[in-house]
Amino acid sequence: MKQEAMKQETMQAKNMEQDPSYLASETIGRLMGRYAVPCIISLLVGALYNIVDQIFIANADYLGSYGNAANTVVFPLTVIALALAVMIGDGCCTFTSLSLGRGSADDARRSIGGSVSLTLLVGICLTAAYLLFAKQIITLFGGTINAETFRCAKEYFFWITLGIPFYLFGQSMNPIIRADGSPRFAMTATLAGAAANIILDPVFIFLLRWGMAGAAIATVIGQILTAALSLWYLLHIRSVTLSKGDFRPDAAIIGRTLTLGICSFLSQISLVAAMAAINNMIRKYGALDAVFGQQQYAQIPMAVVGIVMKFFQIVISIVVGMAAGCIPIVGFNMGAGYRERVKELFVKLLTAEACVGAAAFMIVELFPGALIQIFGAANESIYYSQFAVKAFRIYLCMTVFACVNKAAFIFLQAMGRAAASTMLSMVREIVFGVGFALTLPLFFGLDGVLYSMPVSDVLTALLSAVVIAATYRQLSQYPTPAAA
């Protein structure tokens, strides 16, 4: 009896995934679980690509904090690729969900096909640009802090660049696969790549002693595996039937797709601007510090801030995973006119995101010493651990606000309110994120870099509160009958 019930439940879930109309009838809680959890896992695994490299690099006695600093220098270049990928992928996911909700399968089909072609083109162009301007790019992101950091960054950068087309393709296809009703496959594709990276990292770094090149090659192999699985799914997509003509980009549809994904792009690309500002302020004001002005310790602040950012990336992956996983649910119900369901999802999502932020806050405030031990503190000087504890506690002290802010941005995007979403994201990352990273060190020195994050999050939360209240009122003004 139990096996029969499980079989019926599995068949029901399969039928629901094949018929997107269940997004308007299934309970909001179950939909969040079905869509958000796989998305969270996918993004967490994606975040682990970099943080796993950093853990193994930190614990390799011949790399240590120099390798970690180099990883911090190169990380923004991966984020640029991710920004382009999520602009295409999240935009296509939103456009496809809205189109299917309105019954416009043709528009959904052309959006998917055009997005695939655009992804391939962007990946090739970005790789070429990275290879042509490698030295200038590494310098821009603070890689000249000392000779050994520059050498490690150059080596890591080259191999990571070769994997950019595969990384970009896998990341952009992930939300498209979710929009097709297969969040579990999207999760599996990312998990497979991460597993390969985790297995190969210790082999290449410790056994073969390939150094930074080994860490990068392991990452690229994992990215190739994820891209290959995504390509296989694309050939078996279910919600639409793709033809050769669909891969010819339609200017109007691609324009609308990219508009819906612009918030995702700006939230990532503006993070790159903030990283550039932070890295250069660390280099400038670290040189003025009594301890970190010494050559043998100069790389420590950059390595530590990179580690703190990677931890925050794990937290924000959960937050973005919850919100991005709900994009198909929001888009379909908005397209179908079920605003009460959208309002219910809005409240539940923001509540859950605040809980994630509170949990992260407790971890960084209570256990910063344990966190830094994971990243090779035993092999470093006492200054490494001391600065790391301070960085965790200051930089992430307002993480609750950061989580709610990010969720609000993505939810607005899913509703089709790209302008409001983009405005908030730009203010947070460019006006506040870059602005305070450049100005606060003038008054507080190296610590000013750490203060820039919480100050930005608090001020953004005040703006977000106004938009959140207005959005809730807007949804309440249009009551609709429960979905059939």
Say if residue 254's pLDDT is above 80: yes
Least confident residue range of 64-78, 235-249, 259-273, 355-369: 259-273
- For range 433-440, the mean pLDDT: 93
Region 179-187: mean pLDDT is 83
**pLDDT above 70 as % of the chain:** 93
452 has a pLDDT exceeding 50:
yes
Distance CA 315, CA 309 (A): 10
Nearest-angstrom CA–CA distance, 294 and 184? 50
| Confidence (pLDDT) at 314 | 86
The 3-class SS string of the chain reads CHHHHHHHHHHHHHHHHHCHHHHHCCCHHHHHHHHHHHHHHHHHHHHHHHHHHHHHHHCCCCCHHHHHHHHHHHHHHHHHHHHHHHHHHHHHHHHHHHHHHHCCHHHHHHHHHHHHHHHHHHHHHHHHHHHHCHHHHHHHCCCCCCHHHHHHHHHHHHHHHHCHHHHHHHHHHHHHHHHCCCHHHHHHHHHHHHHHHHHHHHHHHHHCCCHHHHHHHHHHHHHHHHHHHHHHHHCCCCCCCCCHHHHCCCHHHHHHHHHHHHHHHHHHHHHHHHHHHHHHHHHHHHCCCCCCCCHHHCCHHHHHHHHHHHHHHHHHHHHHHHHHHCHHHHHHHHHHCCHHHHHHHHHHHHHHHHHHHHHHHHHHHHCHHHHHHHCCHHHCCHHHHHHHHHHHHHHCCCHHHHHHHHHHHHHHHHCCCHHHHHHHHHHHHHHHHHHHHHHHHHHHCHHHHHHHHHHHHHHHHHHHHHHHHHHHHHHHCCCCCCCC
Helix (H) or strand (E) holding 483: none
Mean pLDDT of the chain: 86
Band of pLDDT at residue 20, cut at 50, 70 and 90: low
Express each pLDDT in 187-243 by its tens digit.
Answer: 889 889 989 999 999 999 999 999 999 999 999 999 999 999 999 999 888 877 788
Least confident of 102-106, 287-291, 445-449: 102-106
For residue range 315-345, what is the model confidence (pLDDT) as tens digits?
988 998 888 888 788 878 877 778 788 888 8
Interval 398-421 mean pLDDT: 84
